[in-house]
Chains A and B, each alone.
Chain A
C-alpha cells in the first residue's frame, strides 16, 4: 500500500515568508508525528497527533510553528515569518497507535530559507 507522502519535496523561501508543509499518513494510522532534522543531526520532535485527542505540542520551538490535522487524515505544518535557522528537513511519520508501533516515515521536505 501507499506509504507516508510529504509535499513539497523541496521548498526554497525568502526570510519572513510563511510556508506550509503537507503530510499524508498511511491510511488507518492514528498517530502522526512531525520532526525537524538539521543538517548532520538527529531528529528533533516537534508535534504529535493521536486520533481526535489534543495534540502534544511540547516540541514546537516557537509560536511561529503550528500544525493541524483533521481526524486521522492529512496534516499541515505551518511556519510563519520564516528565519534562516528554520532551514532543515521536516520529516513526518505515522504509526498505528501511540505505543511502541514502529514509525513509518515520509521522504521529508527540505526547507531552505534564504
Chain B
C-alpha cells in the first residue's frame, strides 16, 4: 500500500528564517500528485502547494516552494522568511489515480519563534 511519511513530528524556526519540512512517500505509480496542506488552530485545512509528478520543475507559491525528488520519492516543503502566521500543522498528501485516493502523512507541527 502507498504510504506517506513525515519524519518530523515538530519543527521550530526563528521568525524571518527558512525552514524545510520533509516528506517521503512510497509508490509504484509514475503519474500522481503531491500536496502540502496547512492546518492552523482554526482546524481548517488549507492547500499550500501542489506538485504534478510528471513535471520536473519544482512548484512555488510565494514564500513556499518544494524540492521534489521523484527518484528518491521525496517531497520537502521550504518556507522562506517564516512569519508568525505560518505556525500550524503541515500535512503532506499523495494522490494516486489507481484508486483515486488521497493518502495523508501524520503531519509536522511548525512553531515560529518571535
Complex CA–CA separation, A110 to B44 (angstroms): 12
Inter-subunit contact A42/B105 (CB<8 Å): yes
User: How many residues on the A side are at the interface (Cβ–Cβ under 8 A)?
Assistant: 19
Q: A107 near B44 (CB under 8 angstroms)? A: yes
Q: Is the CB of B95 within 8 A of A100?
A: yes
B window 56-114: CB within 8 A of A:
91, 95, 97, 100-102, 104-107
A89 surroundings in chain B (CB, below 8 A): 43
Residues of B within 8 A of A93 (CB): 45
Given that A43-B91, A100-B95 are contacting pairs, would A105 and B44 also be in contact in the complex, using a CB cutoff of 8 Å? yes
Q: Helix, strand, loop or mixed for chain B's interface? A: strand
- Residues of A within 8 Å of B11, CB to CB, are none
Once the chains are docked, how many angstroms separate the CA of A102 from the CA of B97? 14
Return chain B residues, CB-CB under 8 Å to A107: 42-44
Once bound together, how far apart are the Cα atoms of A99 and B102, in whole Å? 10
Q: Does A25 count as interface, using CB distance less than 8 angstroms?
A: no
Alpha-carbon separation in the docked complex, A104 to B46 (Å): 7
Chain B nearest CB, measured from A99 CB (Å): 7
Which of B33, B35, B47, B107 touches A41 (beta carbons < 8 Å)? Answer: B107
Q: What are the residues of chain A within 8 A of B100 when measuring CB–CB?
A: 98-99
Residues of B within 8 A of A41 (CB): 106-107
Nearest-neighbor residue (CB-CB) of A97 within chain B: B100
Q: Which of A45, A98, A100, A105 has the most CB of B within 10 A?
A: A100
A99: chain B residues within 8 A (beta carbon): 97, 100
Task: Other than A33-B102, A91-B43, A108-B44, give 16 A-B pairs with Cβ distance below 8 A.
Answer: A42-B91, A42-B104, A42-B105, A43-B45, A89-B43, A91-B45, A99-B100, A100-B52, A102-B35, A102-B47, A102-B50, A103-B37, A103-B45, A103-B47, A104-B47, A106-B44
